[in-house]
C-alpha cells in the first residue's frame, strides 16, 4: 500500500497549521496599517482585492468559513511553485510548507524568482537563507515578518 495519500495529508495539515499560526485568524475583516491602502485582510491572511473575493471592512466570518477559504486559496500559491521548482513534490514536507508560506505571503512570482533558482541548483541553504530578505512592509522592517521568515527558514532547512 502506498503512503502517498498519508504524506499529502501530513503535508496539508502542516501547511494549514503553519499558515494559521503565521497569519493568525481574523474573524472580522479589517485594514492592517502595514498593508497598502485599500487592502482588507480577513480570515487566515486572505486579502482583498488580491483574492478577488468581495469583502468589506467589518464583515464577519466563522472559523469554518475561514478554514474553507484557506483551503480554496492555497492552490493559487502552490501551483506556480510546482512549475518553477523542480520536483516540488519530492521536497521534504517542511521545505514545501516554508516555500508555500512565503508564496502565500509574498506572492509566487517572488518565490519563483528568488528562491526557486537556488533550490533548483541544489543550494538549499542559500534558498532558505534568501527567505530572510523579505522582512519589510511599506519599506520598514517588521518584527512579525522577521519572526515569520526566521521560522520559514528553520522549516526550509529541515529534512523530514
The angle at the Cα of 20, spanning 64 to 4, to the nearest 5 degrees, equals 90
Task: Using a cut of 0.85, tell me whether the model's pTM lies above it.
Answer: yes
Q: Give 3's Cβ-side CA count (13 Å radius).
A: 3
Residues 6 or more apart from 84 whose CB is under 8 A from it? 108, 111, 112, 116
Confidence of residue 51 (pLDDT cuts 50, 70, 90): confident
- pLDDT at residue 85 tops 80: yes
Counting other chains too, the contacts that 148-151 makes at CB distance below 8 Å and 24 or more residues apart are 148/22, 148/101, 148/105, 149/102, 151/18, 151/22
- CATH number of the domain residue 41 falls in: 1.10.530.40
Domain count, the chain: 1
Q: Give 67's Cβ-side CA count (13 Å radius).
A: 7
Q: What is the pLDDT of residues 60-82, one digit of tens each?
A: 999 999 999 999 999 999 999 99
d(CA 160, CA 92): 5
What is the average pLDDT across 46-52?
A: 83
- How do strand 26-30 and strand 140-141 relate by DSSP bridges? unpaired
Q: Please count the other Cβ atoms lying within 10 Å of the Cβ belonging to residue 152.
A: 26
35 grid coordinates: 498593508
Which residue range(s) make up the domain with 81? 4-157
- pLDDT at residue 30 tops 60: yes
The dihedral built from the CA positions of residue 59, 72, 109 and 127, taken in this order, carries a sign that is positive
Among 96, 81, 99, 74, which residue's Cα sits nearest to residue 149? Answer: 99
Amino acid at each position: 500500500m502506498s503512503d502517498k495519500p498519508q504524506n499529502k495529508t501530513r503535508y496539508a495539515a502542516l501547511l494549514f497549521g503553519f499558515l494559521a499560526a503565521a497569519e493568525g485568524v481574523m474573524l472580522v475583516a479589517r485594514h492592517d496599517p502595514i498593508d497598502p491602502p485599500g487592502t482588507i485582510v480577513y480570515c487566515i491572511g486572505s486579502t482583498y482585492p488580491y483574492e478577488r473575493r468581495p469583502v468589506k471592512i467589518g464583515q464577519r466570518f466563522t472559523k469554518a468559513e475561514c478554514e474553507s477559504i484557506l483551503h480554496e486559496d492555497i492552490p493559487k500559491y502552490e501551483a506556480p511553485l510546482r512549475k518553477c521548482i523542480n520536483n516540488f513534490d519530492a521536497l521534504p514536507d517542511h521545505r514545501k510548507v516554508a516555500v508555500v508560506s512565503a508564496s502565500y505571503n509574498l506572492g509566487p512570482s517572488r518565490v519563483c524568482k528568488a528562491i526557486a533558482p537556488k533550490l533548483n541548483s541544489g543550494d538549499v541553504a542559500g534558498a532558505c537563507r534568501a527567505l530572510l530578505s523579505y522582512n519589510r512592509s511599506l519599506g520598514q522592517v517588521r518584527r512579525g515578518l522577521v519572526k515569520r521568515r526566521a521560522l520559514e527558514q528553520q522549516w526550509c532547512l529541515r529534512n523530514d
